[in-house]
Chains A and B, each alone.
Chain A
Amino acid sequence: MPESEALHASHRLEYPYARSVGPVIGAFLTGLRDGRLLGVRGSGGSVIVPPTEYDPDTGDDTGEVVEVGPGGVVESWAWVPDPLPKHPSDRPFAWALIRLDGADTALLHAVDSGGPDRLATGDRVTVRFRPAAERIGSMADIEAFVPEGGAA
């Protein structure tokens, strides 16, 4: 073997586990695939979205699944002028905490408003799903939220 020839081996670090998402997260992700937004009723009667198996305030089991949205109110937002490679949008967008109609907690997702001057806390937005054939039961099934009554 010539001295200049170095040996190479490729190495890919991975954790090839499959996880079961269970009855509550599973219901939410299945809902996304079907184009619906679901929450769960907490022990004090409040509706938690995205849903968890336990109430974050009390630790008690949560109850019935309820449909929420598709519209909601922006509770806080942050404008991203230069999206990073893995961000859910390749053009400027806002992260937002959105309290969906019928919910008592907020969901984090992207808002495609077209500009920072076209979004404010308290604004109403509505969900924009990907086409049904592209949905797989993931948060990415929501393309973005858009201002209600006039998309960007």
Chain B
Amino acid sequence: MSAVAGRRTPRPVSIASFAQARNVRRDDEHNEVEMLMPVVAEVFGTIGITKDDIDFICSGSTDYLIGGPFSFVTALDAVGVWPPKSESHVEMDGAWALYEAWVLLQEGEIDAALVYCFGRSSPGNLNEILALQLDPYYVAPLWPDPVSLAALQARALIDAGKATEADFAAIASRSRRDALDNPKAQVANDIPAEKLLEDEYIVSPLRRHALPPITDGVAAIVLAAGDKARQWSKPVWITGLDHRIETHSLGARDLTSSPSTARAAEGAGVSDGPIDVAEIHAPFAHQEIILKEALGLDETVVVNPSGGPLAANPLMSAGLIRIGEAATRISSGRAHRAVAHATSGPCLQQNLVCVLEGE
């Protein structure tokens, strides 16, 4: 099964270009299309191509954030709808839109694809919106918010002796300090972990610093195969890509581990060689601990040098941004082999793992 989704991929595909908007708490001045237009222009412009050079478009977003149906159709205006292009959409983070485009590239019918995603979190109430993704009979009627569910996971981690509240604070402190070097980050500061531990609990055992910010943001990636992969940029190859999901029954899972990430990591071949850098989609600080273990990363791996989702967490985009940030580390020569991870659902229910390698 890993032969299909994993590292023995028949056709090499490169991350040819990546762009993201500056992540902000609230963008009241632009709608989704207006936020996407400059990012789409940048992701094409950086490598000197236009929409005419790509064969397929796939986007990731959710109508629940916007409060209207088929919002992804409107978003196509950011690319231009004429002449028509083959196009698709997933009601998921853009990382899964990338997966769909990558599968189509494997078929060999096309050579290039645009992947984009958008998430304006500010207009609605995320605590209520995200409760709607839960089991409609057993869980959603109770309206548990994402912070509460993450707190149950954090407590389980503490009880299992795998982490302490000081560990959560250390991860938050490091992430936002690293974000000082990321001009696209939303929350960047240099506050020592001991100081963060003075925060009040939002939902214990989680204090404010262990939570992701609420972010408006969009991102885009161009994938290229065949001759275009070398013509357009110095290739950053996807050498493995896999995603796995766990049961939606929260109480039937061991929340202190992530078996779906571990299986996806195996399928993507994470352990086939040394990893220099990891961009991990851990919206809550404690989840980085669980994911590092599941990905099999040791202390030599640089984790989330961009600041990660604790510095900017645009829904439906933060996963694709992990892939883009990891690719950028390789294309800029700061890393040779990297792993990027994206998550979806409550308490890391579904996970995607992407291994990238330079030449």
Count chain A CB atoms within 10 A of each CB in B131, B153, B205, B249 and give the residue with the most: B249
Encode contact with B along A102-138: 1 for CB under 8 Å, 0 otherwise.
Answer: 0001111110000010000100000000000000001
Task: Say whether A145 faces chain B, with CB atoms less than 8 Å apart.
Answer: no
Task: Say whether B142 faces chain A, with CB atoms less than 8 Å apart.
Answer: yes
Task: Say whether B255 faces chain A, with CB atoms less than 8 Å apart.
Answer: yes
Task: Say whether A65 faces chain B, with CB atoms less than 8 Å apart.
Answer: no
Task: Say whether B141 faces chain A, with CB atoms less than 8 Å apart.
Answer: yes
Please report the number of residue pairs spanning A and B whose Cβ atoms sit closer than 8 angstroms: 102
State A76–B152 Cα separation when bound (angstroms). 6
Select one of B68, B138, B152 contacting A78, CB under 8 A: B152
Select one of B128, B137, B247, B250 contacting A97, CB under 8 A: B250
State A77–B156 Cα separation when bound (angstroms). 8
Given A48-B252, A99-B251 in contact, is the A108-B139 Cβ separation under 8 Å? yes
Q: Is the CB of A76 within 8 A of B143?
A: no
Q: Could you say which residues of chain B place their CB within 8 Å of the CB of A79?
A: 151, 201, 203-204
State A43–B152 Cα separation when bound (angstroms). 28
Q: Is the CB of A121 within 8 A of B137?
A: no
Q: Could you say which residues of chain B place their CB within 8 Å of the CB of A99?
A: 251
Q: Which residue of B lies closest to A42 (CB)?
A: B252
Q: Which A66-104 residues have a C-beta within 8 angstroms of B? A: 75-81, 84, 86-88, 95-99
Given A56-B249, A97-B250, A139-B137 in contact, is the A76-B155 Cβ separation under 8 Å? yes
Question: Which 4 A/B pairs are nearest by Cβ-Cβ distance?
Answer: A106-B251, A78-B151, A56-B247, A86-B143
Residue positions of B touching A, CB distance < 8 A: 67-68, 127-128, 131, 136-139, 141-145, 148-149, 151-156, 159, 201, 203-206, 247, 249-252, 255
Kindly list 15 other residue pairs between chains A and B, CB separation below 8 angstroms, not including A50-B251, A95-B151, A139-B138. A29-B137, A50-B137, A76-B159, A77-B152, A77-B155, A78-B152, A78-B155, A78-B203, A78-B204, A87-B143, A95-B148, A95-B203, A97-B156, A109-B142, A139-B142
